[in-house]
Structure formats: C-alpha cells, structure tokens
C-alpha cells in the first residue's frame, strides 16, 4: 500500500481530508508527530519550531548552519516514520522529502479564497478584509519558509501527483478521489520502491549523525553503500591529515544500521567550519 502525503494551506480542509482518508484506508495519520520528534533531537522546544514555520530564516539564522541541521533532522524523523507504509502525512514538506519514492502518492489540497476568508472570520472573529490579509500573509510566509529551508515552491503543481480543489468538489469527493488513486497499481509498494525508501532513510540517519561535526555534509546511499560528501575548512587540516578527518567519519557511518560500505569524499573550503 502507498504512503500518502497531503500538502495544504491554512483553512483548506487538508487536515480533515487527511484524517478521513486515513480512516477509510485504516492508515495512521501523522503531522506534528514528526515535528515533535525533530524538536527533541534538535533540542529546541516544539513551540519555537512551530513559530519557525512562519519565520524560519530569522529564527534559524541565530544558529550557525541552523538551516542545514533543521532540514536534516526533519527529513530523518519523517523517513523513519514512513518506512512501515500505511501512513497519511499532512505535515512539513513530505511531498519534497519523499519526492522520488514510487509508492508515495503526493496530493495538494487547495480551497477557494472566499471560503477560506469566511472560515478565518468565523474562527478569529475578524472582518473580511482583515481575514483576507491574514490568509495572504500566511500563504506568503509559508512559501517563503519552504523556499528558504527546502528550495521549493509549495504552489508548484509539478511536486504533486494530484492537485484537488475544494469548491465544486466537496471534502468527501476529494477523499474518494485520493482513496481511489491510492489503490492504483502505480502506487503499490514494490521491492525496488522499498529499497529506494530504505536507502534514503539510511542516508538521512548517517547525515544527522555527522551534521553537528560537519554542517556541510551530504549523504547518499544505494544498496547499502553510503557515500559521504563533506566540505571542511582548510584551517581544520592544518593540524590533521585528510585521513584523520575521513577515518572517524567512516566509523560513525558504519555504526548506522544497514551501511555495508562507506565511501567518504572530502573537499576543502577557505571558509572556516
């Protein structure tokens, strides 16, 4: 069975859709669970990460290489959670982190602006103009946040397998469309698709094990072979040889379950670490 990711803006009924799809399919429905897990690893209170969703650049700029660490931990937490399949995820950037996994059905939910305005007015007790301004600001901040942290535009339809509008389609119609798509053969989990997910999960686990020491680390994995790409400042090599840097990286990477072979690719930078 597939993994389903649902991307949505505020007041777009995406949470309701996700919960109904999960109930229909007997799936687990997750969202903030991943954020909570990442906040524990990242050692930042969850409320600060929730606020960071709306203004990530200024919050994370307080930490050296904050963006890189934040992205690494969120990705690792999500990949760990979805390895077992049968999950509907309607949280942060699932459509991006799971982009190249064949058995992931990526859905974008959009809603009519006037319907969203009415919902904002009802929930916040504000006038229509104020509600519209708040929604437009929130949409802009979400897009800015996604572009800053992940380099993606959530409005790009190419990120999704389905873009569904809740207007003529009702919530139950959208749920029916997603459930139907989830049963299509193209979204069935196969040995090859599971291997891709397992490789991504392994690479993500190695990356979070190294990101504190090497903020510019990038890791890939294929069939249990892990490639670690690290960039270090020349100042670090004044007292160490390249092998002194590479050896502990190999040891750390091998401690992560599933790594059969580790290959470290070292590059230099005039910048300090």
- Residue 51, pLDDT score: 55
Q: Are strands 104-111 and 87-89 parallel, antiparallel or unpaired?
A: unpaired
Looking at residue 257, what DSSP letter applies?
T
The sign of the torsion formed by the CA atoms of 237, 242, 244, 247 equals: positive
Q: Are 17 and 171 in contact (CB under 8 A)?
A: yes
Predicted local confidence at residue 155, as pLDDT: 81
Q: Are 117 and 33 in contact (CB under 8 A)?
A: no
Those residues with Cβ within 8 angstroms of residue 239's Cβ, 6 or more apart along the chain or in another chain: none
Q: What 3-state class would DSSP assign to 70?
A: helix
95-128 pLDDT tens trace:
888 988 999 999 999 888 988 899 889 888 999 9
pLDDT digits (tens, 9 = 90+) for 48-68: 555 555 455 554 455 444 666
- What token pair was written down for 22? 């999960």
Neighbouring CB atoms inside 10 A of 33's CB total 15
pLDDT for res 48 = 58
Please identify which residue in the block is written with the tokens 């891709």.
Answer: 196
d(CA 176, CA 158): 22
**How remote is the C-alpha of 19 from its chain's centroid?**
19
In which residue are the tokens 């090599």 written?
237
Q: pLDDT under 50 in the chain at which residues?
A: 54, 59-60, 63-65
User: Tell me, what's the pLDDT at 214?
Assistant: 84
Query: For position 184, what pLDDT does the model report?
Result: 95
Confirm if 219 and 226 have CB atoms less than 8 A apart.
Answer: yes
- Quick one: which of 252, 251, 246, 248 has its CA closest to 264? 246
Helix axes 14-25, 171-182, angle to 10 degrees: 50
Q: Is the dihedral of CA 185, 224, 78, 96 positive or negative?
A: negative
pLDDT at residue number 130: 92
């Amino acid at each position: 069975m597939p993994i389903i990711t649902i991307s949505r803006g505020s007041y777009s009924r995406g949470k309701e859709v996700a919960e109904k799809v999960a109930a229909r399919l007997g799936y687990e429905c997750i969202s903030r669970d991943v954020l909570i897990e990442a906040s524990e690893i990242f050692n930042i209170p969850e409320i600060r990460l929730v606020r960071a969703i709306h203004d990530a650049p200024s919050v994370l700029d307080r930490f050296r290489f904050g963006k890189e660490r934040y992205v690494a931990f969120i990705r690792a937490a999500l990949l760990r959670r979805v390895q077992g399949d049968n999950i509907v995820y309607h949280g942060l950037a699932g459509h991006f982190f799971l982009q190249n996994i064949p058995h992931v059905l990526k859905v974008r939910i959009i809603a009519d602006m006037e319907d969203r305005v009415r919902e904002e007015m009802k929930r916040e007790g504000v006038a229509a103009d104020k509600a519209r301004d708040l929604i437009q600001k929130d949409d802009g901040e979400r897009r800015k946040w996604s572009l800053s942290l992940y380099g993606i535009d959530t409005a790009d339809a190419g990120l999704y397998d389905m873009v569904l509008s809740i207007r003529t389609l009702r919530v139950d119609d959208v749920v029916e469309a997603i459930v139907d798509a989830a049963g299509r053969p193209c979204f069935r989990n196969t040995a090859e698709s599971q291997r891709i997910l397992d490789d991504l999960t392994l690479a993500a686990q190695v990356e979070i094990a190294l990101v504190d020491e090497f903020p510019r680390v990038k890791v890939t994995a294929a069939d249990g072979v892990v490639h670690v790409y690290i960039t270090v400042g020349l100042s670090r090599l004044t007292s160490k040889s390249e092998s002194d840097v590479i050896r502990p990286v190999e040891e750390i990477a091998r401690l992560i379950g599933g790594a059969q072979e580790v290959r470290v690719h070292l590059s230099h930078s005039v910048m300090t670490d």
